[in-house]
Each structure stands twice: as structure tokens, then as C-alpha cells.
Amino acid sequence: MHSSFLRGHDFVVTDKQTAVSHQQWFQGFKNTERLGLVAPNGYEGVGAVNLVMAYVTAFYDTYRAAGGDFFAYPDFYSFQNCEPVAKYSKLDIWPEHKNVAVVGGAVAMLDAINDRAITVLLVPDREPTNPTYFKAQLESARRMVGRCFAYSFAGQVDGADLVIETTNRSLVEWADTVFELPAAANDPAWQARWAEWRTGVADTPCLVQSYRAISFAEALTLL
């Protein structure tokens, strides 16, 4: 809940080249939405920090609108094909069991997503594959998943139709903690990615990230 001080005005949202307020973009949002961030290598989810935190802020807005005190965390999850998993707790993906280690490929990933009834799915924009899913598995996902977005570790995707900007440096600091994985302290590839992330956000007053709204069918090829 450390991020509950964020407000809609911390985000500048451009949807299909049209500026909209955070409140407008999240019109009709319910605090029962369940976001799933697919980050196969653990670290790449930092490229979606603006979108994740915009959703987190919308979640807390529902409690603020109701009035009174509250202690709550959104039912948001990260799904990673690695162990130990990177921790996204600073992005309010907490408690830590919500950072899920998935053993196996896309079919196992979809099982993990279904098991947690994900409604908003964020997937890395990468070379698509053509996994063979089970019919019942697909139908379960179709019932639940309502929105899908592609993101990239670099923070920019081709064909973007959603751009979210923020000048609140807290988001950069929180995303940076994803790399603080003791098991990867001596991993050259991991450390190189951390350095790449830091170089990309250093001395940047405004963190700008873009995303692409995609169909459920396309999301299935990117798991």
C-alpha cells in the first residue's frame, strides 16, 4: 500500500493519439479486476511499470471513493519462467506468493493465469509462437480475460496505441528493486539488463512507456 499516495494526475494517458485523463481511461473499473504481468525472465516487467501502477492507482481510487480507512492490495500477479522469482512487491504485487514461478511453456503459463482468474493480461512483445492449448483451458481464459496489452522491456512497442507518462520518479525507484535479486548478483546477463534499464531511465524527468492493445488470440501467441 506504499503506492496508495499516487493519484490519477501522476499519469498522462494518450489512447489512440487522444489525451484522456486517468479517470476517463479507467471509467467503469472495478476493484475486483485481476491483472497478470507475464515476465518470463523475471526482469522485463519493468517495461510495464507505468501501466501496472496506473491500474494500482485505479484500484485504490475505488477505496478512496467509498470513504473511510482501508487496508487492501489488488489481486495482481506476475508470472515468471524462472526461479527464484523477481519480486514486484514495490509495484504492489504482494504478498510475495503473487509472484508466481511457472515451470513449463505457454500451456503451463495459461494454466497459471486461469488458476488466478486473470482479467487484464500484460504480455511481452516478442516473437510469436503457436502453442497447442487445450479446448477447456482456452474457454476458461476466454470467460475471464477481458483486456490484453503487449509491452516491452525497453518500454516502447511497435504499433503502440496507448502511451502512459509520469514525472513521479517513485515508479522508477520501485521498478529498480525488481533487479535486487540476491541469486542474480553474479549473473552477467541479469546485471547487464539492470545496467541497461538504469541507463534508459537515468536523468529522464519523464518516464514514457507505450503499449499495444491486442486480442486474446494474439496474447496466446506471446505467452
Tell me the pLDDT tens digit for each residue of 120-130. Answer: 999 999 999 99
- pLDDT at residue number 1: 59
Higher pLDDT, 201 or 1: 201
- pLDDT band, very low/low/confident/very high, at 202 (cuts 50, 70, 90): confident
- Say whether pLDDT at 76 is over 80: yes
- pLDDT at residue number 34: 99
Evaluate whether 10 touches 166 at the Cβ level (below 8 Å). yes
- Say whether pLDDT at 82 is over 90: yes
Q: Mean pLDDT throughout 64-68?
A: 88
Q: Where are the beta strands (DSSP E) in the chain?
A: 12-15, 18-20, 35-38, 77-80, 99-101, 120-124, 147-151, 162-166, 207-214
Share of the chain above pLDDT 90, in %: 93
Q: How far is CA 174 from the centre of its chain?
A: 13
Burial of 28 (0-12, 13-18, 19+ CB in 10 A): exposed
Give the integer Cα–Cα distance in Å for 85 and 58.
26
Q: Tell me the per-residue pLDDT of 39-49, one tens digit each, with 9 for 90 and over.
A: 999 999 999 99
Domains of the chain, with CATH numbers? 2-220 (3.40.50)
- pLDDT at residue number 70: 84
Q: Mean pLDDT throughout 8-15?
A: 97
Task: Tell me if the bond preceding 188 is cis, omega within 30° of 0.
Answer: no
Evaluate whether 50 touches 209 at the Cβ level (below 8 Å). yes
* Planar angle of CA 149, 150, 151, nearest 5 degrees: 120
- pLDDT band, very low/low/confident/very high, at 102 (cuts 50, 70, 90): very high
- pLDDT at residue number 203: 82
- Say whether pLDDT at 204 is over 90: no
- Say whether pLDDT at 2 is over 70: no
Q: Tell me the per-residue pLDDT of 141-183, one tens digit each, with 9 for 90 and over.
A: 999 999 999 999 999 999 999 999 999 999 999 999 999 999 9
